[in-house]
Protein backbone atom coordinates (compact mmCIF):
# COMPACT_ATOMS: atom_id res chain seq x y z
CA UNK A 1 0.00 0.00 0.00
CA UNK A 2 2.94 2.34 0.55
CA UNK A 3 3.78 2.01 -3.13
CA UNK A 4 0.45 3.63 -3.96
CA UNK A 5 1.79 6.85 -2.49
CA UNK A 6 5.36 6.55 -3.78
CA UNK A 7 6.91 4.72 -0.84
CA UNK A 8 7.63 5.36 2.81
CA UNK A 9 9.35 8.71 2.22
CA UNK A 10 6.25 10.26 0.65
CA UNK A 11 3.98 8.79 3.31
CA UNK A 12 6.22 10.33 5.99
CA UNK A 13 5.97 13.72 4.24
CA UNK A 14 2.17 13.41 4.20
CA UNK A 15 2.15 12.53 7.90
CA UNK A 16 4.32 15.56 8.75
CA UNK A 17 1.92 17.87 6.90
CA UNK A 18 -1.07 16.16 8.53
CA UNK A 19 0.54 16.54 11.97
CA UNK A 20 1.06 20.26 11.34
CA UNK A 21 -2.58 20.61 10.33
CA UNK A 22 -3.78 18.75 13.42
CA UNK A 23 -1.45 20.80 15.63
CA UNK A 24 -2.85 24.03 14.20
CA UNK A 25 -6.44 22.88 14.76
CA UNK A 26 -5.58 21.72 18.30
CA UNK A 27 -3.85 24.99 19.10
CA UNK A 28 -6.89 26.98 18.03
CA UNK A 29 -8.97 25.04 20.57
CA UNK A 30 -6.56 25.86 23.41
CA UNK A 31 -5.62 29.46 22.71
CA UNK A 32 -6.98 32.42 20.79
CA UNK A 33 -5.30 32.51 17.37
CA UNK A 34 -7.13 35.62 16.13
CA UNK A 35 -7.06 36.32 12.39
CA UNK A 36 -3.92 34.33 11.57
CA UNK A 37 -5.92 31.11 11.80
CA UNK A 38 -8.04 32.12 8.79
CA UNK A 39 -4.94 32.08 6.60
CA UNK A 40 -2.76 29.42 8.22
CA UNK A 41 -5.38 26.66 8.16
CA UNK A 42 -5.87 26.91 4.36
CA UNK A 43 -2.07 27.19 3.98
CA UNK A 44 -1.58 23.87 5.76
CA UNK A 45 -4.38 22.36 3.66
CA UNK A 46 -2.49 23.49 0.53
CA UNK A 47 0.71 21.95 1.90
CA UNK A 48 -1.05 18.66 2.64
CA UNK A 49 -2.65 18.66 -0.82
CA UNK A 50 0.74 19.34 -2.40
CA UNK A 51 2.31 16.42 -0.53
CA UNK A 52 -0.54 14.10 -1.56
CA UNK A 53 -0.25 15.26 -5.18
CA UNK A 54 3.49 14.61 -5.21
CA UNK A 55 3.01 11.21 -3.59
CA UNK A 56 0.33 10.20 -6.09
CA UNK A 57 2.52 11.36 -8.95
CA UNK A 58 5.36 9.14 -7.69
CA UNK A 59 3.12 6.24 -6.72
CA UNK A 60 1.41 3.47 -8.62
CA UNK A 61 -2.23 4.09 -7.67
CA UNK A 62 -3.03 7.15 -9.77
CA UNK A 63 -1.07 8.33 -12.76
CA UNK A 64 -1.46 12.10 -12.92
CA UNK A 65 -0.49 13.59 -16.29
CA UNK A 66 2.68 15.63 -16.05
CA UNK A 67 1.24 19.07 -17.02
CA UNK A 68 -1.67 18.69 -14.58
CA UNK A 69 0.64 17.63 -11.77
CA UNK A 70 3.12 20.41 -12.50
CA UNK A 71 0.50 23.15 -12.72
CA UNK A 72 -1.44 21.86 -9.71
CA UNK A 73 1.72 21.50 -7.65
CA UNK A 74 2.88 25.01 -8.56
CA UNK A 75 -0.47 26.53 -7.66
CA UNK A 76 -0.62 24.66 -4.35
CA UNK A 77 2.93 25.73 -3.49
CA UNK A 78 2.15 29.36 -4.31
CA UNK A 79 -1.05 29.12 -2.28
CA UNK A 80 0.83 27.69 0.69
CA UNK A 81 3.53 30.37 0.58
CA UNK A 82 1.10 33.24 0.03
CA UNK A 83 -1.36 32.17 2.72
CA UNK A 84 1.45 31.51 5.20
CA UNK A 85 2.92 34.96 4.60
CA UNK A 86 -0.51 36.58 4.94
CA UNK A 87 -1.25 34.63 8.13
CA UNK A 88 2.06 35.62 9.70
CA UNK A 89 1.47 39.23 8.71
CA UNK A 90 -1.99 39.16 10.31
CA UNK A 91 -0.54 37.66 13.49
CA UNK A 92 2.23 40.26 13.53
CA UNK A 93 -0.24 43.14 13.10
CA UNK A 94 -2.41 41.75 15.91
CA UNK A 95 0.66 41.48 18.13
CA UNK A 96 1.72 45.05 17.37
CA UNK A 97 -1.74 46.46 18.09
CA UNK A 98 -1.90 44.59 21.40
CA UNK A 99 1.54 45.84 22.54
CA UNK A 100 1.01 48.52 25.24
CA UNK A 101 4.44 50.07 24.61
CA UNK A 102 3.64 51.06 21.03
- Condensed to tens digits (0 to 9), the pLDDT of residues 65-93 reads 778 888 988 999 999 999 999 988 887 88
How far CA 93 is from CA of 57, 82, 87, 96, in Å, comes to: 39, 16, 10, 5
Given this model, what pLDDT does residue 40 score?
Answer: 84
Given this model, what pLDDT does residue 92 score?
Answer: 83
Q: Is residue 74 part of a domain?
A: yes
**Residue 45 reports pLDDT greater than 80:** yes
Q: What is the pTM of this model?
A: 0.78
CB 6, CB 55: distance < 8 Å:
yes
Given this model, what pLDDT does residue 85 score?
Answer: 93
Enclosing domain of residue 83? 2-96
Q: Is residue 49 part of a domain?
A: yes
Given this model, what pLDDT does residue 64 score?
Answer: 72
Q: Is residue 32 part of a domain?
A: yes
Q: What's the structural domain count of the chain?
A: 1
Q: Is residue 102 part of a domain?
A: no
Amino acid sequence: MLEWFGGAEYVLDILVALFGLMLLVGTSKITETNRGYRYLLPAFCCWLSLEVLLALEAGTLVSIPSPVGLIGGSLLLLGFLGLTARGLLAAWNTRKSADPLS
